[in-house]
Copies of this chain bind each other. A is one copy, B any other.
Amino acid sequence: MKKFHNQTRRNLLISSASSIAIAGIASFQKTVFAQAASDVIKPLPSYVAWKDPKSVIIHSSTTIETKRSAFGTSVITPTEQLYIRNNLPAPNPSIVANRDAWEISIQGVKEPRVFTLAELKSLGLETTAAVLQCSGNGRGYFPSKPSGTPWTVGAAGCVVWSGVPVRQVAQTLGGVLPSMKFITGTGGEKLPDGIDPKSIIVERSVPLAAMQDALLAWEMNGVPIPLAHGGPLRLIVPGYAGVNNIKYIKELTFSAQESDAKIMSHGYRMTPLGGKTDPSQPSVQEMNIKSWINSPFTDNGQVKPGKVQIQGVAFGGLHAVKGVEVSINGGKTWEQARFVGPDLGKYAWRQFVLEVLLGSGSYTLASRATDTSGKIQPETRGENQSGYNNNSWADHSFNIIVA
Protein backbone atom coordinates (compact mmCIF):
# COMPACT_ATOMS: atom_id res chain seq x y z
CA MET A 1 0.00 0.00 0.00
CA LYS A 2 1.28 3.48 -0.86
CA LYS A 3 2.23 5.74 1.99
CA PHE A 4 1.59 9.45 1.72
CA HIS A 5 2.95 12.31 3.73
CA ASN A 6 0.18 13.88 5.67
CA GLN A 7 -1.01 17.24 4.46
CA THR A 8 -2.78 18.12 7.65
CA ARG A 9 -5.28 20.87 7.97
CA ARG A 10 -2.80 22.27 10.46
CA ASN A 11 -0.10 22.64 7.83
CA LEU A 12 -2.60 24.24 5.52
CA LEU A 13 -3.47 26.72 8.26
CA ILE A 14 0.14 27.44 8.98
CA SER A 15 1.03 27.98 5.36
CA SER A 16 -1.60 30.68 5.08
CA ALA A 17 -0.71 32.38 8.35
CA SER A 18 0.62 35.89 8.76
CA SER A 19 4.08 36.27 7.25
CA ILE A 20 5.53 38.09 10.26
CA ALA A 21 5.53 34.76 12.11
CA ILE A 22 7.58 32.80 9.59
CA ALA A 23 10.44 32.04 11.98
CA GLY A 24 8.20 30.56 14.68
CA ILE A 25 6.23 28.56 12.14
CA ALA A 26 9.33 27.20 10.46
CA SER A 27 10.66 25.86 13.74
CA PHE A 28 7.27 24.37 14.62
CA GLN A 29 6.90 22.79 11.19
CA LYS A 30 10.38 21.36 11.38
CA THR A 31 9.47 19.46 14.54
CA VAL A 32 6.31 18.11 13.00
CA PHE A 33 7.94 17.10 9.72
CA ALA A 34 10.83 15.50 11.55
CA GLN A 35 8.33 13.39 13.44
CA ALA A 36 6.48 12.50 10.25
CA ALA A 37 9.68 11.45 8.48
CA SER A 38 10.82 9.28 11.35
CA ASP A 39 7.48 7.45 11.27
CA VAL A 40 8.34 5.84 7.99
CA ILE A 41 10.92 3.88 9.95
CA LYS A 42 9.39 3.67 13.43
CA PRO A 43 6.21 1.69 13.59
CA LEU A 44 4.35 3.91 16.06
CA PRO A 45 5.02 7.43 17.40
CA SER A 46 5.92 7.34 21.09
CA TYR A 47 2.74 9.07 22.32
CA VAL A 48 0.71 6.18 20.89
CA ALA A 49 3.26 3.43 21.45
CA TRP A 50 0.46 1.50 23.19
CA LYS A 51 -1.55 1.16 19.95
CA ASP A 52 -1.63 -2.21 18.22
CA PRO A 53 0.82 -1.78 15.32
CA LYS A 54 -0.70 -4.69 13.38
CA SER A 55 -4.16 -3.10 13.34
CA VAL A 56 -3.23 0.30 11.98
CA ILE A 57 -1.84 2.17 8.98
CA ILE A 58 0.50 4.98 9.98
CA HIS A 59 0.10 7.92 7.60
CA SER A 60 2.08 10.36 9.75
CA SER A 61 2.85 11.00 13.41
CA THR A 62 -0.56 12.62 13.86
CA THR A 63 -2.65 10.56 11.44
CA ILE A 64 -3.10 6.83 12.04
CA GLU A 65 -5.87 4.71 10.52
CA THR A 66 -7.46 1.42 11.56
CA LYS A 67 -6.99 -1.28 8.90
CA ARG A 68 -10.25 -2.35 7.28
CA SER A 69 -9.37 -5.99 7.95
CA ALA A 70 -8.75 -5.25 11.65
CA PHE A 71 -12.28 -4.16 12.50
CA GLY A 72 -13.94 -6.82 14.63
CA THR A 73 -17.62 -7.56 15.16
CA SER A 74 -17.94 -6.54 18.82
CA VAL A 75 -19.51 -3.14 18.07
CA ILE A 76 -16.99 -1.22 20.16
CA THR A 77 -13.64 -0.33 18.58
CA PRO A 78 -10.82 -1.19 21.00
CA THR A 79 -8.89 1.91 22.03
CA GLU A 80 -5.63 0.37 20.86
CA GLN A 81 -7.03 0.10 17.33
CA LEU A 82 -8.88 3.43 17.13
CA TYR A 83 -7.66 5.99 14.60
CA ILE A 84 -5.65 9.06 15.52
CA ARG A 85 -6.04 12.40 13.84
CA ASN A 86 -4.71 15.41 15.69
CA ASN A 87 -4.78 18.93 14.22
CA LEU A 88 -1.91 19.89 16.50
CA PRO A 89 0.65 17.73 18.26
CA ALA A 90 -0.64 16.36 21.58
CA PRO A 91 0.15 18.48 24.65
CA ASN A 92 2.75 17.50 27.20
CA PRO A 93 1.85 14.26 29.03
CA SER A 94 2.06 16.18 32.29
CA ILE A 95 -1.59 17.17 31.77
CA VAL A 96 -2.72 13.60 32.34
CA ALA A 97 -0.43 13.04 35.33
CA ASN A 98 -2.97 14.79 37.54
CA ARG A 99 -6.21 14.53 35.61
CA ASP A 100 -8.52 15.78 38.32
CA ALA A 101 -6.70 19.11 38.40
CA TRP A 102 -7.49 19.91 34.73
CA GLU A 103 -9.49 23.13 34.50
CA ILE A 104 -12.24 24.19 32.12
CA SER A 105 -13.89 27.58 31.95
CA ILE A 106 -17.63 27.64 31.25
CA GLN A 107 -18.86 30.88 29.65
CA GLY A 108 -22.12 32.18 28.22
CA VAL A 109 -24.14 31.01 31.23
CA LYS A 110 -25.76 33.04 34.03
CA GLU A 111 -22.94 32.22 36.46
CA PRO A 112 -19.76 31.58 34.47
CA ARG A 113 -16.98 29.83 36.33
CA VAL A 114 -14.01 27.51 36.15
CA PHE A 115 -14.41 23.85 37.12
CA THR A 116 -11.70 21.34 37.87
CA LEU A 117 -12.27 17.89 36.42
CA ALA A 118 -12.77 16.59 39.99
CA GLU A 119 -15.63 19.06 40.38
CA LEU A 120 -17.17 18.09 37.04
CA LYS A 121 -17.19 14.45 38.12
CA SER A 122 -19.38 15.31 41.10
CA LEU A 123 -21.98 17.07 38.93
CA GLY A 124 -23.39 14.13 36.99
CA LEU A 125 -22.71 11.04 34.94
CA GLU A 126 -23.83 9.79 31.57
CA THR A 127 -22.43 7.11 29.27
CA THR A 128 -22.99 7.23 25.52
CA ALA A 129 -21.80 5.01 22.69
CA ALA A 130 -21.08 7.11 19.62
CA VAL A 131 -19.27 6.85 16.32
CA LEU A 132 -16.18 9.02 16.14
CA GLN A 133 -15.27 9.70 12.54
CA CYS A 134 -12.82 12.06 10.89
CA SER A 135 -14.49 14.40 8.36
CA GLY A 136 -12.02 13.16 5.77
CA ASN A 137 -12.74 9.45 6.24
CA GLY A 138 -13.15 8.12 2.69
CA ARG A 139 -11.04 10.93 1.19
CA GLY A 140 -8.77 8.31 -0.34
CA TYR A 141 -11.59 7.44 -2.77
CA PHE A 142 -11.86 10.94 -4.28
CA PRO A 143 -10.39 10.89 -7.82
CA SER A 144 -9.57 14.59 -7.39
CA LYS A 145 -6.90 13.55 -4.88
CA PRO A 146 -7.61 16.31 -2.34
CA SER A 147 -4.77 17.35 -0.06
CA GLY A 148 -4.97 15.74 3.37
CA THR A 149 -4.69 12.18 4.60
CA PRO A 150 -6.09 9.66 2.07
CA TRP A 151 -8.18 7.77 4.65
CA THR A 152 -10.24 4.88 3.34
CA VAL A 153 -12.61 3.50 6.02
CA GLY A 154 -10.42 3.42 9.11
CA ALA A 155 -10.62 7.00 10.37
CA ALA A 156 -13.67 5.97 12.37
CA GLY A 157 -14.62 3.86 15.34
CA CYS A 158 -17.45 3.27 17.78
CA VAL A 159 -16.52 4.38 21.28
CA VAL A 160 -18.24 4.37 24.68
CA TRP A 161 -17.78 7.76 26.36
CA SER A 162 -18.48 8.65 29.99
CA GLY A 163 -18.73 12.16 31.38
CA VAL A 164 -21.10 14.84 32.54
CA PRO A 165 -23.87 16.04 30.19
CA VAL A 166 -23.19 19.57 28.93
CA ARG A 167 -26.84 20.44 29.65
CA GLN A 168 -26.30 19.52 33.29
CA VAL A 169 -23.23 21.75 33.55
CA ALA A 170 -25.22 24.65 32.06
CA GLN A 171 -28.11 24.02 34.42
CA THR A 172 -25.77 24.02 37.43
CA LEU A 173 -24.61 27.48 36.37
CA GLY A 174 -28.09 29.00 36.09
CA GLY A 175 -28.66 28.11 32.45
CA VAL A 176 -27.48 29.37 29.08
CA LEU A 177 -27.78 33.13 28.49
CA PRO A 178 -30.62 34.15 26.13
CA SER A 179 -29.69 34.64 22.46
CA MET A 180 -26.89 32.10 22.56
CA LYS A 181 -27.04 29.85 19.50
CA PHE A 182 -23.84 27.79 19.57
CA ILE A 183 -21.67 25.65 21.80
CA THR A 184 -18.07 26.66 21.16
CA GLY A 185 -15.28 24.46 22.43
CA THR A 186 -11.64 25.51 22.68
CA GLY A 187 -8.81 22.98 22.71
CA GLY A 188 -5.95 23.18 25.17
CA GLU A 189 -3.10 22.37 22.79
CA LYS A 190 0.08 24.39 23.19
CA LEU A 191 0.26 26.96 20.39
CA PRO A 192 3.49 28.00 18.68
CA ASP A 193 4.85 31.43 19.57
CA GLY A 194 4.77 34.38 17.21
CA ILE A 195 1.66 33.49 15.30
CA ASP A 196 -1.92 34.72 15.58
CA PRO A 197 -3.60 32.13 17.88
CA LYS A 198 -6.84 32.36 15.90
CA SER A 199 -5.01 31.09 12.82
CA ILE A 200 -4.08 27.82 14.49
CA ILE A 201 -6.13 27.20 17.62
CA VAL A 202 -8.56 24.27 17.57
CA GLU A 203 -11.89 25.92 18.31
CA ARG A 204 -15.18 24.80 16.83
CA SER A 205 -18.85 25.72 17.18
CA VAL A 206 -21.86 23.44 16.92
CA PRO A 207 -25.53 24.42 17.09
CA LEU A 208 -26.96 24.82 20.61
CA ALA A 209 -29.35 21.93 19.94
CA ALA A 210 -26.37 19.58 20.23
CA MET A 211 -26.39 20.36 23.96
CA GLN A 212 -29.09 17.76 24.50
CA ASP A 213 -26.64 14.86 24.13
CA ALA A 214 -23.17 16.45 24.31
CA LEU A 215 -20.82 15.32 27.07
CA LEU A 216 -17.72 16.63 28.74
CA ALA A 217 -16.08 13.21 28.83
CA TRP A 218 -13.20 11.89 30.91
CA GLU A 219 -13.47 8.18 30.10
CA MET A 220 -13.53 6.17 26.87
CA ASN A 221 -14.05 2.42 26.58
CA GLY A 222 -13.60 1.99 30.31
CA VAL A 223 -10.36 3.87 30.82
CA PRO A 224 -9.46 7.52 31.44
CA ILE A 225 -9.22 9.13 28.00
CA PRO A 226 -5.61 8.74 26.80
CA LEU A 227 -3.71 11.91 25.95
CA ALA A 228 -3.69 11.00 22.25
CA HIS A 229 -7.49 10.91 22.23
CA GLY A 230 -8.01 14.20 24.07
CA GLY A 231 -7.70 13.34 27.75
CA PRO A 232 -8.02 14.44 30.46
CA LEU A 233 -11.23 16.06 29.14
CA ARG A 234 -12.88 16.00 25.73
CA LEU A 235 -16.06 17.51 24.35
CA ILE A 236 -18.14 14.74 22.78
CA VAL A 237 -20.86 15.85 20.37
CA PRO A 238 -22.56 12.59 19.33
CA GLY A 239 -23.44 12.43 15.65
CA TYR A 240 -20.99 15.20 14.69
CA ALA A 241 -17.76 14.73 12.74
CA GLY A 242 -14.58 14.18 14.76
CA VAL A 243 -13.19 17.72 14.56
CA ASN A 244 -16.14 19.02 16.59
CA ASN A 245 -15.21 16.77 19.49
CA ILE A 246 -12.65 19.13 21.04
CA LYS A 247 -9.69 17.47 22.76
CA TYR A 248 -8.09 18.83 25.96
CA ILE A 249 -11.06 21.19 26.18
CA LYS A 250 -10.17 24.23 28.28
CA GLU A 251 -13.11 26.48 27.49
CA LEU A 252 -16.74 25.80 26.66
CA THR A 253 -18.67 28.90 25.65
CA PHE A 254 -22.32 29.23 24.81
CA SER A 255 -21.99 31.88 22.11
CA ALA A 256 -24.20 34.01 19.88
CA GLN A 257 -21.84 33.60 16.92
CA GLU A 258 -19.71 30.80 15.54
CA SER A 259 -16.04 30.93 16.52
CA ASP A 260 -13.90 33.19 14.33
CA ALA A 261 -10.95 30.83 14.56
CA LYS A 262 -9.64 29.90 11.15
CA ILE A 263 -10.37 26.19 11.65
CA MET A 264 -14.04 27.19 11.93
CA SER A 265 -14.32 30.05 9.43
CA HIS A 266 -12.14 28.58 6.67
CA GLY A 267 -11.50 25.03 7.76
CA TYR A 268 -13.78 22.03 7.33
CA ARG A 269 -16.09 23.74 4.84
CA MET A 270 -17.81 22.03 1.93
CA THR A 271 -15.91 24.00 -0.69
CA PRO A 272 -16.75 23.31 -4.36
CA LEU A 273 -14.06 21.54 -6.38
CA GLY A 274 -11.43 24.08 -7.39
CA GLY A 275 -13.03 26.76 -5.21
CA LYS A 276 -11.76 28.70 -2.22
CA THR A 277 -12.95 28.11 1.33
CA ASP A 278 -15.43 30.64 2.57
CA PRO A 279 -17.45 30.94 5.81
CA SER A 280 -20.67 30.90 3.77
CA GLN A 281 -20.07 27.29 2.71
CA PRO A 282 -21.62 24.54 4.84
CA SER A 283 -19.48 23.48 7.77
CA VAL A 284 -18.60 19.83 8.36
CA GLN A 285 -20.84 18.96 11.27
CA GLU A 286 -23.55 16.27 11.39
CA MET A 287 -22.39 12.99 9.88
CA ASN A 288 -24.26 11.32 7.02
CA ILE A 289 -25.84 7.90 6.75
CA LYS A 290 -23.00 5.52 5.92
CA SER A 291 -21.96 1.88 5.91
CA TRP A 292 -19.16 -0.30 4.66
CA ILE A 293 -18.20 -3.95 4.59
CA ASN A 294 -15.23 -5.09 6.67
CA SER A 295 -15.22 -8.80 5.88
CA PRO A 296 -14.34 -10.65 3.75
CA PHE A 297 -11.77 -7.94 2.99
CA THR A 298 -8.23 -9.19 2.44
CA ASP A 299 -5.07 -7.57 1.15
CA ASN A 300 -5.01 -9.78 -1.93
CA GLY A 301 -8.78 -9.93 -2.46
CA GLN A 302 -8.76 -13.75 -2.38
CA VAL A 303 -11.66 -15.57 -0.72
CA LYS A 304 -12.39 -19.30 -0.54
CA PRO A 305 -15.61 -20.61 -2.11
CA GLY A 306 -18.55 -21.67 0.03
CA LYS A 307 -20.69 -20.08 2.67
CA VAL A 308 -19.46 -16.58 3.59
CA GLN A 309 -20.65 -14.18 6.29
CA ILE A 310 -20.43 -10.71 4.74
CA GLN A 311 -20.29 -8.21 7.58
CA GLY A 312 -19.68 -4.56 8.27
CA VAL A 313 -20.85 -1.47 10.12
CA ALA A 314 -23.55 1.14 9.55
CA PHE A 315 -24.44 4.40 11.28
CA GLY A 316 -26.68 7.37 10.72
CA GLY A 317 -25.16 10.51 12.25
CA LEU A 318 -27.99 12.13 14.22
CA HIS A 319 -30.42 9.36 13.26
CA ALA A 320 -30.30 5.69 14.09
CA VAL A 321 -29.54 3.36 11.24
CA LYS A 322 -32.69 1.48 10.27
CA GLY A 323 -31.47 -1.13 7.80
CA VAL A 324 -28.64 -2.21 5.53
CA GLU A 325 -28.70 -3.89 2.13
CA VAL A 326 -25.76 -5.80 0.70
CA SER A 327 -24.87 -6.38 -2.94
CA ILE A 328 -22.40 -8.90 -4.33
CA ASN A 329 -22.64 -7.55 -7.88
CA GLY A 330 -21.66 -3.94 -7.43
CA GLY A 331 -25.16 -2.67 -6.78
CA LYS A 332 -27.13 -4.36 -9.56
CA THR A 333 -29.19 -6.24 -6.96
CA TRP A 334 -29.45 -5.89 -3.18
CA GLU A 335 -30.37 -8.16 -0.30
CA GLN A 336 -31.40 -7.11 3.20
CA ALA A 337 -28.70 -7.82 5.79
CA ARG A 338 -29.53 -8.52 9.44
CA PHE A 339 -28.13 -6.67 12.42
CA VAL A 340 -26.06 -8.65 14.91
CA GLY A 341 -25.18 -7.80 18.48
CA PRO A 342 -26.46 -5.30 21.00
CA ASP A 343 -27.97 -1.96 19.95
CA LEU A 344 -25.94 0.68 21.78
CA GLY A 345 -28.23 3.56 20.88
CA LYS A 346 -28.78 5.86 17.94
CA TYR A 347 -25.28 7.36 17.86
CA ALA A 348 -23.52 3.96 17.83
CA TRP A 349 -22.91 1.94 14.74
CA ARG A 350 -24.60 -1.39 14.17
CA GLN A 351 -22.89 -4.51 12.91
CA PHE A 352 -24.67 -6.12 10.00
CA VAL A 353 -24.25 -9.52 8.38
CA LEU A 354 -25.50 -11.25 5.26
CA GLU A 355 -24.86 -14.95 4.69
CA VAL A 356 -24.14 -15.83 1.06
CA LEU A 357 -22.97 -18.88 -0.83
CA LEU A 358 -20.18 -17.87 -3.20
CA GLY A 359 -18.99 -20.02 -6.08
CA SER A 360 -15.77 -19.37 -7.99
CA GLY A 361 -15.72 -16.03 -9.72
CA SER A 362 -15.32 -12.32 -9.25
CA TYR A 363 -17.64 -10.26 -7.03
CA THR A 364 -18.03 -6.60 -6.13
CA LEU A 365 -19.23 -6.26 -2.54
CA ALA A 366 -21.16 -3.17 -1.50
CA SER A 367 -23.46 -2.10 1.34
CA ARG A 368 -26.11 0.59 1.47
CA ALA A 369 -27.66 1.84 4.72
CA THR A 370 -30.91 3.66 5.46
CA ASP A 371 -31.58 5.78 8.55
CA THR A 372 -34.77 6.27 10.55
CA SER A 373 -35.39 9.61 8.84
CA GLY A 374 -35.60 7.78 5.52
CA LYS A 375 -32.24 8.91 4.13
CA ILE A 376 -30.49 6.32 1.95
CA GLN A 377 -26.74 6.12 1.56
CA PRO A 378 -26.08 7.50 -1.94
CA GLU A 379 -24.21 5.80 -4.76
CA THR A 380 -21.96 8.79 -5.44
CA ARG A 381 -19.88 11.03 -3.22
CA GLY A 382 -20.61 14.74 -2.88
CA GLU A 383 -17.61 16.24 -4.64
CA ASN A 384 -15.79 18.91 -2.65
CA GLN A 385 -12.37 20.47 -2.56
CA SER A 386 -11.11 18.87 0.64
CA GLY A 387 -12.61 15.42 0.31
CA TYR A 388 -15.02 15.58 3.24
CA ASN A 389 -18.14 13.57 4.10
CA ASN A 390 -17.68 10.72 1.65
CA ASN A 391 -20.56 8.30 2.16
CA SER A 392 -20.79 6.92 -1.39
CA TRP A 393 -21.57 3.22 -1.31
CA ALA A 394 -19.85 2.75 -4.67
CA ASP A 395 -16.61 4.28 -3.36
CA HIS A 396 -16.68 1.89 -0.39
CA SER A 397 -17.33 -1.21 -2.51
CA PHE A 398 -14.47 -3.60 -3.33
CA ASN A 399 -13.73 -6.63 -5.46
CA ILE A 400 -13.00 -10.15 -4.34
CA ILE A 401 -11.89 -13.19 -6.28
CA VAL A 402 -13.45 -16.41 -5.08
CA ALA A 403 -11.22 -19.33 -6.04
A interface residues with partner B (beta carbon < 8 Å): 52, 71-79, 81, 121-129, 160-162, 219-223, 306-309, 311, 340-345, 348, 351, 353, 355
Contacts and interface: CB of A to CB of B under 8 A. Distances in A.
Nearest to A81: B222
A340 B164 CA distance: 11
Nearest to A127: B341
28 contacts: A71-B222, A72-B162, A72-B219, A72-B223, A73-B162, A73-B219, A74-B160, A74-B161, A74-B219, A74-B220, A74-B221, A74-B222, A75-B222, A76-B76, A76-B222, A78-B79, A81-B223, A121-B309, A122-B308, A122-B309, A123-B307, A124-B309, A127-B351, A128-B341, A128-B342, A129-B341, A160-B341, A344-B344
Contacts of A128: 341-342
Contacts of A124: 309, 355
Given A122-B306, A309-B122, A127 B221 contact: no
Given A73-B125, A126-B341, A127-B73, A222 B307 contact: no
Most buried by B among A74, A79, A219, A341: A74
Given A123-B307, A222-B81, A353-B125, A74 B342 contact: no
B123 A162 contact: no
A400 to B, nearest CB: 14
A215 to B, nearest CB: 11
